Amino acid sequence: MKAKEKTRMNIRSNRNLKEALDMSRRLTILADEGEASSRDDGCAVLYGVIRDCAYKIKGRAEREKEVHKVLGIWDDGNNSHEALI
Cα–Cα distance measured from residue 39 to residue 41, given in angstroms and rounded to the nearest whole number: 7
Cα distance from N-terminal residue to C-terminal residue, the chain: 16
Task: Name the amino acid, one letter, at 51.
Answer: R
| Residue-range domain boundaries for the chain | 3-73
- For residue range 27-77, what is the model confidence (pLDDT) as tens digits? 999 999 999 999 999 999 999 999 999 999 999 999 999 999 999 999 886
pLDDT at 84 over 70: no
Cα(48)–Cα(54) distance, integer angstroms: 10
Is residue 4 within 8 Å of residue 84, measured between CB atoms? yes
- Summarize pLDDT for 58-67 with one digit per residue, the tens: 999 999 999 9
Res. 85 pLDDT band, cuts 50 70 90: very low
Q: pLDDT band for 78, please (50, 70, 90 cuts).
A: low
4-15 pLDDT, tens digit each: 787 888 999 999
